[in-house]
Amino acid sequence: MKSFFRQRAFTLVELMVTLAIMSFALLASAPYLSDWTYGRQIKDAQSKLLRAYGLAKSLAVRNPLGKQGDTEAAAGLKLETVDSDLFLYVCKGDPDSADCYGANTTGVLVWKADFPAAIVLKLGTNIWAPGTAATTATTLAINNRGFPTSGLLNSYYLTRRGSNNAVFGALP
């Protein structure tokens, strides 16, 4: 008895045409995928910056060191370049102190984060960019009422070189 169903497979030509179409589609979408990746890196950096600021502000209001007055720093935020990488530190007390650093053992450091390597950050007048000379540390000291006492970190600009993505903002 003859089978009514005939087995059929892909021919080599059909397979090559399918692979060519898929390759062209992937090639056409590559710029959009890289732009999306750059946008995610910028959003990640913005999230870390805003999280550090919020954490420093809430730590200052809790005032774990018992600081008094409007000019004493109860907590603070520090941005620093270490070996061409940008780090954010949140510390108890004065962020300008030597203890507000990534490798300290004194218990002053509360939180630390690093920025994605390709992100350019402009904060006030300071600019951190990959492959450039290290910028001096920038700090923001916050008193026990949650108000800044020193430092210039009111506005920021984040971008990635060669990308159309950019984020402008101000710290609340």
pLDDT, tens only, 1-46: 566 666 677 789 999 999 999 999 988 888 788 788 888 888 999 9
pLDDT, tens only, 63-110: 988 888 888 899 998 888 777 778 889 999 888 887 777 665 567 889
For range 147-154, the mean pLDDT = 74
Where are the chain's structural domains? 32-170
* pLDDT band at residue 139 under the 50/70/90 scheme: confident
| Element holding 66 (H helix, E strand) | none
Strand extents, DSSP E, 44-143:
75-82, 85-92, 109-114, 119-123, 126-128, 138-142
pLDDT at 167 over 80: yes
pTM of the complete model beyond 0.85 = no
Residue 104 burial by CB count (10 A; 0-12/13-18/19+): exposed, middle or buried? middle
CA distances from 123 to 37, 92, 99 (A): 23, 22, 23
**Dihedral of the CA atoms 157, 154, 53, 134 (nearest 10)?**
60
Other beta carbons within 10 angstroms of residue 100's beta carbon come to 26
